[in-house]
Chain A
């Protein structure tokens, strides 16, 4: 439980929420403190009870200051409507729309890290229909184990969440995908879904980035999501196990999204663990709980080592999308010097989207944006496999991201 909670209003993809409290207000755990501000936006709830200290600019992981609500914590008084009991509530009689409404009010976003508002994802665009729900229990990032623990400890709840999502989407089939390196989770979940023939568990090959939704869809259904299209185009909707769990809590227990499981780990961390953390807790408190900041820490990563974001300070708060905190020792924190491309084509072999990273880096560096667009730079999922394998330590993904940004701007301005 933090002493002060720093809750950003923009923890998700889409418009940041608009605060509905002001300085001096008293809030309870689970209370709405910022309202959804647009079609693609969600509510933000207080994860603590106490007094609103201020609504101010809080530096986020990138160092840029964004609007957030700071609350001085007093006690832990929850909203009365929330069911705090731990008993499993298996049955439900809600309609699909009711489920989606409850998810919307609870402020649920994709917990795998992307933080896309779930209620928006559950309403397919006109003309498209979902045929399959895939629950992402893959957790392909090395070092992260929060999803694994959640599957082991809250398997029943996840299954209920899956059924709720199926009802919301009106699909008849669901598949839970889990990588082969988690045999206990596979076994346990297979037991739990035995009672529901519509849900199955598929063990998947351990190969990064198996957890990327396009890769997951291909592994489970054999279909490839077309370039530039969403998974719904092939009739699939993908949700993280953490999201399924949050859906269970929201619908069956009336509990909005204000806490999540975060892995704190690293080679020099004294007690690497998974913690259930309230949103808004500064990262420093988590690190203390894991045995303190190792002396040789060179880099702090929010998320996993492949796609996570290095943070500028430990005062960064945990948000809905924080899946882990990785403390990297100094020796490994710095990159090697960059050399010329030796055209070994390892990046091409590594790219899960069939792109040519060496070429995308060169055209981005030379600012030839039309060529970058032609070479499908927008298809990149930023998994980092290319930069990982490059023997010349070239910063491939850095330039590809730059290319994506610029080409994205060009495409948007073309539409206007």
Chain B
């Protein structure tokens, strides 16, 4: 019995060793030379393989960095400035600095503000619904609520709110990869500049119909009245096609536009509540 075991051990060990040697030489012979810096750069990347940089995965991005030897057109939105400076350090190049961005859903047409006028009974995806119909409400630009953006997100950063019927972005998780922007057939989601304390000011509407028509479809639609444009001291607001747009790169978060908008189409997020004017006059009156 034991001699069989000895023979077995010897034979299997011999086969194992022989295979290892053969494989080693074969691997050496067929080895493809790869710049070792690609591995180094890849290690510095977040490894999410989300495609937000425009390349097919982190490895492809690392290859592009090394090959192009110039980082002016290469930026990883998930890793951000920190990651890019790391990559720049490895390659001895200059990294481009970009402001961090966050995805913003520019529609506030909740079930309450924007009544449904029909019921879509087909396969509930935004792509299918928008290719055949303008939506379930009278606003043909608004959110359909079927959640293609939720499905597209790899980072669990966007979810459907069942009460409002609109998607909501979780800022901490959003890496601005752009997947939801691509997925939305109404082009409602935009990558806007990320401000401290997760503050945002944006026009929550993309309705290009004339004011009266837009307002009939949704209570908080932008009617293109231009009050906000006139109010903005920083030239951040433009009006085109009955619709206002706030450029997040120029916006200074002064909130003046929010207070003049007649339909509450401009939204301010994560700001402290304003002091009410009445109280101050009262107090001054009292003090006197």
Which residues in A have some Cβ–Cβ distance to B below 8 Å? 59, 62-65, 309, 312-313, 333-335, 338, 395, 398-399, 401-402, 405
Contacts known (A64-B140, A65-B140); A405 close to B123, Cβ less than 8 A: no
Q: Tell me if B131 counts as interface (CB < 8 A to partner A).
A: yes
Contact B122 A395 (CB under 8 A): yes
Task: List B97-140 residues whose CB lies under 8 Å from chain A.
Answer: 117-118, 121-123, 125, 127-128, 131-135, 140
- 30 A-B pairs within 8 Å (CB atoms) are namely A62-B132, A62-B133, A62-B134, A63-B118, A63-B133, A63-B135, A63-B140, A64-B134, A64-B140, A65-B140, A312-B117, A312-B133, A312-B134, A313-B117, A333-B121, A334-B121, A335-B121, A335-B122, A395-B122, A395-B123, A398-B122, A398-B123, A399-B123, A399-B128, A401-B128, A401-B131, A402-B125, A402-B127, A402-B131, A405-B131
Do the beta carbons of B128 and A402 come within 8 Å of each other?
yes
**Chain A contacts for B134, CB-based, 8 A:** 59, 62-64, 312
The 3 closest A-B pairs by CB, nearest first: A63-B134, A395-B123, A398-B123
B209 to chain A, nearest CB (A): 8
Shortest C-beta distance, A63 to chain B (Å), equals: 3
> What distance in Å separates the Cβ of A393 from its nearest Cβ neighbour in chain B?
11
- What chain B residues lie within 8 Å of A335 (beta carbons)? 121-122
Which residue of chain B is the closest to A299 with respect to CB atoms? B121
* Inter-chain contacts of A333 with B (CB < 8 A): 121
Within 8 Å CB of A399, what residues of B? Answer: 123, 128
Produce 1/0 per residue, B136-176, CB < 8 A to A: 00001000000000000000000000000000000000000
Chain A min CB distance to B68 (Å):
25
Interface string of B230-263 (1 = CB under 8 A from A): 0000000000000000000000000000000000
Query: Chain A residues with Cβ under 8 A from B121's Cβ?
Result: 333-335
B259: shortest Cβ distance to chain A, in Å?
32
Complex-state Cα separation, A264 to B97, whole angstroms: 64
- Whole-angstrom CA separation of A313 from B209 in the bound complex: 19
By a CB distance below 8 angstroms, the chain A residues around B135 are 63
Q: Which residues of B contact A395 (CB under 8 A)?
A: 122-123
| B-side contacts of A65, CB under 8 Å | 140, 209
Q: Is the CB of A398 within 8 A of B117?
A: no
Interface of B is mostly: loop
A405–B117 Cα gap in the complex (Å)? Answer: 27
Q: How many B residues are at the interface, by size bracket?
A: 10 to 19
With a cutoff of 8 Å between Cβ atoms, the chain A residues found around residue B127 in the complex are 402
A395 to B125, CA, bound (A): 11
CB-nearest residue of chain B to A61:
B133
Given the complex, which residues of B lie within 8 Å of A338, measured CB to CB? Answer: 123
Alpha-carbon distance between A313 and B137 when the two chains are bound, in angstroms: 11
In the complex, what's the smallest C-beta–C-beta distance from B179 to chain A, in angstroms? 12
**How far apart sit A322 and B256, CA to CA, in the bound complex (Å)?**
51
Closest A residue to B122 using CB positions: A398
Closest to B135 in A: A63
Complex interface: chain A residues within 8 A of B131 (CB):
401-402, 405
Q: Determine the chain A residues whose CB is within 8 A of the CB of B133 once the complex forms.
A: 62-63, 312
Q: In the complex, A210 Cα to B53 Cα: how many Å?
A: 50
Complex CA gap A413/B127 in Å reads 19
Contacts of A402 in B (CB 8 A): 125, 127-128, 131
CB A330 to nearest CB in B, in angstroms, measures 11
CB-defined interface of B194-231 with A at 8 Å, one 1/0 digit per residue? 00000000000000010000000000000000000000
A63 to B127, CA, bound (A): 16
Task: List the B residue with the shortest CB-CB distance to A63.
Answer: B134
Residues of chain A lying within 8 A (CB to CB) of residue B132 = 62, 309, 401
**11 extra A-B contacts, CB within 8 A, seeds A309-B132, A312-B134:** A62-B132, A62-B134, A63-B133, A63-B134, A63-B140, A312-B118, A395-B122, A398-B122, A398-B123, A402-B127, A405-B131
Q: Which of B132, B135, B209 has the most CB of A within 10 A?
A: B132
Measured CB to CB, the nearest residue on chain B to A399 is B123
A333 to B118, CA, bound (A): 12
A335 to B134, CA, bound (A): 20
The smallest beta-carbon distance between A317 and chain B, in angstroms, is: 16
Q: Shortest Cβ distance from A316 into chain B, in angstroms?
A: 12
Chain B's closest residue to A405 (CB) is: B131
A106 vs B107: C-alpha distance when bound (angstroms): 45
Closest residue of B by beta carbon distance from A394: B123
Interface centre among B118, B123, B125 (most CB of A within 10 A): B123
In angstroms, Cα B120 to Cα A395, docked, is 13
- Least distance between B32 CB and chain A CB atoms (Å): 26
**Which of B128, B140, B209 has the largest count of A CB atoms less than 10 A from its CB?**
B128
Provide the bound-state CA to CA distance between A309 and B131, in Å.
Answer: 12
Chain A's nearest CB lies how many Å from the CB of B123? Answer: 4
- CB-CB < 8 A to A398: which residues of B? 122-123, 128
Bound-state CA distance A313–B133 (Å) is 12
CA distance A99 to B123 in the complex (A): 46
Closest CB-CB distance, B213 to chain A, in whole Å? Answer: 9
**With A and B bound together, what is the CA distance between A401 and B125 in angstroms?**
12
| Residues of chain A with a CB closer than 8 A to B123's CB | 338, 395, 398-399
The distance from the CB of A337 to the nearest CB of chain B, in whole angstroms, is 11
A312 to B125, CA, bound (A): 18
Closest A residue, CB atoms, query B120: A310
Q: How far is the CB of A313 from chain B (nearest CB, A)?
A: 8
**Nearest-CB distance from B37 to chain A (Å)?**
33
What residues of chain B lie closer than 8 Å to A62, measured between beta carbons?
A: 132-134
**Beta-carbon nearest neighbor of B137 in chain A:** A63
**B contact residues around A64 at 8 Å (CB):** 134, 140
CB distance from A358 to the nearest CB of B (A): 14
Closest to B132 in A: A62
Distance in Å from the Cβ of B51 to the closest Cβ of chain A?
13
B125's nearest neighbour on chain A, judged by CB, is A402
Tell me, rounded to whole Å, the shortest Cβ–Cβ distance linking B214 to chain A.
12
Provide the residues of chain A in CB contact with B128, threshold 8 Å: 398-399, 401-402
Tell me the complex Cα distance, A59–B134, Å: 10
CA distance A405 to B118 in the complex (A): 24
Q: How far is the CB of A272 from chain B (nearest CB, A)?
A: 24
| Chain B residues within 8 Å of A334, by CB | 121
A412 to chain B, nearest CB (A): 16
